[in-house]
Structure 1
Amino acid sequence: MTDKNKRKRPLVADKRYPGKAKPKPKSRAQAKPAARKAAPARRKPARTKRPRRGGIGGFFAGLARWFWRLIWTITWRVSLVAFLVLGLAVGYIYTTIPPLDALLDGRARGSVTMLDREGDVFAWRGDQFGGVVSAESVSKHLKNAVIATEDRRFYRHFGVSPRGIASAVRINLSEGRGPLQGHGGSTITQQTAKLLCLGEPYDPSTGMTEKEYEADCRRSSLGRKAKEALFSMAMELKYTKNDILSIYLNRAYMGGGAFGAEAAAQRFFGKPAAALSASEGAMLAGLLTAPTTLSPTNNLDRSQSRAATVIRLMEEQGYLSAAEADEAIANPAQLSEAAEAEAGGYFADWVMSSGPEFFTRNTTEDVIIKTTLDQRIQRAAEDGLKWIFENKVRESSKAQAAIVVMSSDGAVRALVGGRKTKVAGAFNRATQAMRQTGSAFKPFIYAAALDLGYSPNDIIVDEPYCLNIPGSGQWCPKNYTKNFKGPVTLTDALKNSLNIPAVKVSESVGREIVSSVASQFGIKSDLAAGPALALGASESTLLEMTGAYAGILNGGSSVTPYGLIDLRLLGETEPLMGTGGGINERVIQEDAARQLVYMMEKVISEGTGQRAKFGGRQLAGKTGTTSANKDAWFVGFSADYVAGVWMGYDDNTPLTGVTGGGLPAEIWRETMSRVHEGMPLTDLPMLAPAPPSDFGEAQPVPEPQTPQPQGGGNQGGGADNVIDRVLRDIFGGGSSGDGASAPAPGFLDR
């Protein structure tokens, strides 16, 4: 073999076809895959590790990554545990929430609804609840107003609104308050949870009052807010949205003692919650933020202004068109007549205080009380008092006045306890103020005398007169005019309100008899034991005095003033109790009572009470002004009604230029003239005395013996005729004055 053959290269595949170039690889787009042959799996490129940074920077970067992984691990695990605990808590609360029906009426006390003599509602007391309503049954305007005002996202949240809470916290902080002070960001569901006290019923054994318990329910703290959120979410699971809104509409306090929409609608507008207009619904919704302050019975203008704001919110949220909103603002809600009367004022307060406590002040039932009130007469009394103070009394005067109007059987038709008539729970000067009666007491002296046989034509001498009071010395009463009229009839002595004849008659008849007659007529307070009894040194209330005069009008039988006719539970037809007043036993003979009416008629027609005259009617009455002009009275009657008026200062400041025959008589006239509008003229039941006999002039009243310091006690006897009176005088009738309390020196009265 030669070397040439040794150098020849061996044949290979790419040399088999000389002259052809090696084919270039096709692009992926051009390459055709082999038919029905799967492409070999491509291997995932190995992950390349990012080179770690060295040095201090690398150390801190690694440390940060480690902390982030740690926080993430802790966070998702803690969140998982928190969600599990939250779910368990909400689930547990869910099982403790009672059925819907048990939550609609949450009052601890019952209500009292008062009807006037015609059966119309005029007052409410206690916690009013008009009945269960639902979100579907109330007026759409009320429902929309509540949502627009309290929680516009009510139908979109799960019981708690994080956005609302965040906004409230931001506002509170911007206004310089704590994050939980002021705006709360509470949803309607959360507010309902508060109303339910988070499911914790009131327990008296805790030592807290119900008011303190409710305040504790509504306090704001982080712990309380957390419980509130849990309870709200449980409620969202338990009830529908409309169920929650129904609970809220039934339990929310809306002012004026009204709990729930139905009670508030009846209380303020005299209509059911289903019939409320847009302006009325807006007013009730506006009360929810501050029910007492914004109550229309406290400040109607403020309540209407708040309602206008609510109407604008309803317009912004599409519940009202612009035209509807403008109409509602132009015609704001107005109170019903009963609501304008401020829940019955003094009369309702008196009925509540005079009724049984377990059915009035502390009732747990809903009670209906029918009363004697005549709203027409009540308005007449209020208007008469207002007219006098606006036209006859200086504007800066702090003097007060009270009025009572009743029938002759003691049924109280009107009662005003002070100049401010639109009140509730105020001091009632007609029933609570004990004041000296002055000469308004004198009719009971003459009632005792007439019952013992004295005549209105009997003569008594008006002259200087003194009594020796044991332990006090001499007491000499004076007339208001400081002069003496000499011999006068008993009728003239009464009509001119002469003090000395009154004292003489009282001493002649006997103080014990006078006190007994006054007490039997209804003056229950302790009567003065001394001779000043005759001048009205004793104290009484206007209600007692007016009731005592009613006994004179009805023919001499005492009465118990009353305002309650019957009491029954809501839904019941049979009353639980009836009236506690009316005509009682006879005190003096009917003829004596009629003669006394005759004498008292002269007081108005000819005497100190002439300012009380009106309309050509027969009227009878008596003026009264106490020592130093601290109290001024006028009490009198027509054939139809008895009325009493008192005027004075609460702090006993003397009245300036006022006597019972002045402003009190004018208040009486303005009241009674309004009361009698449209009524026929009716004569008084009076009996004129027989004229003197042919044997001589009218009999003189026996003069009482002057008491001596060593006298032996009260001996006031009585007589049935003139002979008896003369015999009594001969054998020492009258009063010795032992043990008598000394009246104030110079006691004057008229």
Structure 2
Amino acid sequence: MSDSSKRKRPLVADKRTAGKGGKPPRKPVAKKAPAKRKPARRAPARPKGPIGWLAALVRWVFRLIWTIVWRVTAVAVLMVALAVGYFYTTLPPLEALLDGRARGSVTLKDRYGDVFAWRGDQFGGVVTADSVSPALKNAVIATEDKRFYRHFGVSPRGIASAVKINLSEGRGPLSGHGGSTITQQVAKLLCLGEPYDASSGQTEKEYEAECRRSSLSRKGKEALFSMAMEAKYSKDDILSIYLNRAYMGGGAFGAEAAAQRFFGKPAAALKPAEGAMLAGLLTAPTTLSPTNNLDRSQSRAATVIRLMEDQGYLSKAEADNAIANPAELSEAAEAEAGGYFADWVMSSGPEFFTRNTTEDVVIKTTLDQKIQRAAEEGLSWVFENKVREGSKAQAAVVIMSADGAVRGMVGGRKTKVAGAFNRATQAMRQTGSAFKPFIYAAALDLGYSPNDLIEDAPYCLNVPGSGQWCPKNYTNSFKGNVTLTTALKDSLNIPAVKVSESVGRDVVSQVAEQFGIKSDLAVGPALALGASESTLLEMTGAYAGILNGGSSVKPYGLIDLTLQGDTDPVMGTGGGIGERVIQEDAALQLVYMMEKVVSEGTGQRAQFGGRELAGKTGTTQANRDAWFIGFSADYVAGVWMGYDDNTPLTGVSGGGLPTEIWQQVMMRVHEGLPNTPLPMIVPEPPVVQAPPQPQQPAQPQRVPRQDNPLGVIDRVLRDIFGG
């Protein structure tokens, strides 16, 4: 048998000494050896002696400086916070800061309601950073403050860079480049919250100069004010204030006014080239204004476009396209704020609604822009083609309807002006033979006929206090017996004097004054030869009275004046047709006589297009002034030519260059108009017997007519000539 059947002893552990309760005792835990301590680092031994004392002193000084610095810094930060908090409390709501103009604006519209000029401080309406074209918004940021959305109102980096540039260019640290952020520029526009106070004795100009002052204390206050704005308003709010208050040239305050002023479109519709041009104006709005120098403005815009490309606002293709197609001015902007006509309208209205308005005003005028261009182009054509190069001679043109509504006005050779001397309304000049129609108007109204005869022969008068006075004809020749029509068409002086003396100088003066010549008229016999002075506007208005059948007119340019946003006008026109001066049949006979001036007499150069035209030439003593004033059935136009210093014209008479200017202007005015005949009466055949010639001045009385529309006149003719 094998041993496998034997019981094997179980493999168990030996019995250990039992603890209490029969439980085996706990296995003893071995104790950890205590961790070894690292020896403490001993402080380096301080040097003893003088070196130790010196080191201790240095440590004490540094601790003192640090204590002072952090405490001073804490105090400074607290003071800055208090100052910023104070400015914060003074800041008004955003809406109160969007229109900061001191004056109102005047918008001028032509007879058809189209805007042609702006005056005053123009504000086109509130815009926001979100409502303007992105092209304009990005152009402003790229040009004025590329870190605008990353700083807290003040840019230390920008200030340091500006100081460095100023010092390198030999200027003071605060002179020249300012390193101002857009926020700081807005603070300056707001004059740090200090409104203008007229009672302070400070002028508005001095106030503005103080707002722009760049002293160190002013710069510090500006920085505090800017930080307060950053705390009060959002970035886009601050940018909106800037886009509404910044002056952008041409009288335009804010982006909307500038966009309308220069491009005739809203700020929301600006293209990159246009937005860049407006952004470029912010540095020098007057110098860079496109109405002052379009080339310079376009060049500045190209620089802005390159900045926009560099900063990622435009792709290279977009930038190249914008530079290749620069912004162009609208037609209204090219008109240079309306020129002489706008100046005249502004001066003719009440000052508190025009030149010094605090309201936004809209004035509808009589201007016809097509006629205005015709006047400018006709005048320029003659000076370019007929006047010797270098001539300093000047000219003026006025065109109006028969009721006195002025349709165009040029006050000098430079037509694109504003605020210049207006020779059409301000220059008082002798009228010469252009005055003669009023002599014959008085005679016809008293019963003379265009075919009455008068002798053109040597003639002298004794003038009390002056002795004998003998008028002469321009040609120094005599024609014998001539009709009144011939005397006028050939501008004969002696017959004009004789007729004036026959009807009475006071009657002639009365007729001229009632037709609208308000200037002082000569009192002697030289009245008949145009020794009196008048303006071109007055003379043209007087001729309009002849065309309309003998009623006076008051030239006017203002139709109505309305406050912006209102529908009812504050005031209406102050001109138009007035009282009757001469009978209608007398006026129509005078038109016939004046038609002969153009068709057969001294004004033949005025003819064009086979139209019936009437007018009168005028040349003053020593050729100092030359005139032609005339009319078609549609319009009246007057032209004056001369030198501002009264230098005599060389080889120029009323029938020469002034008549050619008139012809060029009126030819353009009448393009497309039907050929309408003049309203005139052809007189009966001439009488055979000549009336006696005057020997002494006569003084018949002219009785006003008021019984019917045509008037009733007591024709009082004295038999002063005998026979």
Same-fold call, TM cutoff 0.5: yes
Change over 3 Å in CA distance of 1:581–1:50 after alignment to 2: same
Once residues 624 and 314 of structure 1 are traced to their aligned partners in structure 2, the CA distance between those partners, rounded to angstroms, is 61
Paired residues of 1:511 and 1:716 also in contact (CA < 8 A)? no
Give runs of aligned pairs for residues 338-417 of structure 1, distance below 5 A: 338-417=332-411
Are 2:289 and 1:295 equivalent residues in the alignment? yes
2:689 and 2:143 map into 1 onto residues whose CA distance is 83
Q: Does 1:715 align with 2:712?
A: no
Name the CA distance, whole Å, in 1 between partners of 2:619 and 2:221. Answer: 66
CA contact (8 A) 1:282 1:310 kept: yes
Which residue number corresponds to residue 533 of structure 1? Answer: 527
Partner of 2:719: 727
Deviation, structure 1 residue 717: 3.8
Matches within 5 A, 1:442-453: 442-453=436-447
What is the 5 A alignment of 1:96-495?
96-495=90-489
1:460-510 deviation digits (Å, cap 9, x = unpaired):
111111122222222111111111111111111100111111111111111
How far off is 1:691 after superposition? 1.8
Distance in 2 separating the partners of 1:370 and 1:470: 52
Distance 1:678 1:35, change over 3 A: farther
Secondary structure of 1:647's match? strand
The 1-side partners of 2:154 and 2:281 are apart by 23
The residue that corresponds to 1:604 in the other structure is 598
Picking from 696, 709, 713, the partner of 1:706 is 696
User: Could you say what secondary structure the match of 1:727 adopts?
Assistant: coil
CA contact (8 A) 1:509 1:718 kept: no
Aligned match of 2:12? none
User: C-alpha separation between the residues in 2 aligned to 1:158 and 1:170?
Assistant: 22
State TM-score, norm by structure 2.
0.92
Query: Structure 1 residues 519, 332: CA separation in 2 closer, same or farther (over 3 Å shift)?
Result: same
In structure 2, what is the Cα distance between the partners aligned to 1:531 and 1:65?
A: 110
Q: 2:85 aligns with which of 85, 88, 91?
A: 91
* 1:47 and 2:43 correspond: yes
- Alignment of 1:697 with 2:688, yes or no, is yes
Q: Give the superposition deviation at 1:267.
A: 0.3
Secondary structure at 2:640 match in 1: strand
Cα shift readout 1:272-291 (whole Å, capped 9, x = no counterpart): 00000000000000000000
- Cα 1:88–1:37 shift into 2, 3 Å: farther
- Aligned partner (choices 563, 569, 575) of residue 569 of structure 1: 563
Distance 1:93 1:464, change over 3 A: same
Distance change >3 Å, CA 698–CA 592, structure 1 → 2: farther
Give the secondary structure class of the aligned counterpart of 1:165: helix
On the 8 A contact 1:453/1:722 being kept in 2, the answer is no
Alignment of 1:545 onto 2:539: yes
Q: Are the counterparts in 2 of residues 718 and 725 from structure 1 also a CA contact under 8 Å?
A: no
Deviations 1:345-384, CA, capped at 9 Å, x for gaps: 1111111000111111111111111111100000101000
The answer (yes or no) to whether the contact 1:634–1:665 under 8 Å persists in 2 is: yes
In structure 1, C-alpha distance between the alignment counterparts of 2:571 and 2:302, rounded to whole Å:
46
Q: Distance in 2 between matches of 1:476 and 1:70?
A: 109
Secondary structure, counterpart of 1:715 in structure 2: coil
Seen in structure 2, the aligned counterparts of structure 1 residues 163 and 480 have a Cα distance that, compared at 3 Å, is same
Contact 1:406/1:641 (<8 A) preserved: yes
CA distance in 1, matches of 2:715, 2:194: 82
CA distance in 2 between counterparts of 1:724 and 1:578 reads: 41
Contact 2:105-2:123 within 8 A present in 1 as well: yes
- SS of the residue corresponding to residue 481 of structure 2 reads strand
Q: Mean Cα displacement is larger for which, 469-478 or 169-178?
A: 469-478
- Quick one: structure 1 residues 101 and 589, their matched pair in 2 at CA, closer, same or farther if it must change by over 3 Å? same
My pick for the range that moved more, 716-725 or 355-364, is 716-725
2-structure distance, mates of 1:230, 1:718:
80
Task: Please list the CA deviations of residues 664-691 of structure 1 after superposition, one character each: whole Å capped at 9, or x if unmatched.
Answer: 0000000000000111111100111112
- SS of the residue corresponding to residue 328 of structure 1 reads helix
The match for 2:507 among 513, 523, 546 is: 513
- Check conservation: 1:116, 1:122, Cα contact below 8 A: yes
> Which 5+ residue runs of structure 2 have no aligned equivalent?
1-28, 704-711
Secondary structure of the structure 1 residue equivalent to 2:717: helix
Report the 3-state secondary structure (helix = DSSP H, G, I; strand = E; otherwise coil) of the residue aligned with 1:559: strand
- SS of residue matched to 1:129: coil
Alignment check: 8 A CA contact 1:437 1:538 kept: yes
Deviation at 1:38, TM superposition (A): 6.9
CA distance in 1, matches of 2:352, 2:596: 47
TM-score by length of 1: 0.89
SS at match of 1:725: coil
Q: Percent identity?
A: 80
Change (3 A) 1:726 1:39: same
Contact 1:495 1:602 in 2 (8 A): yes
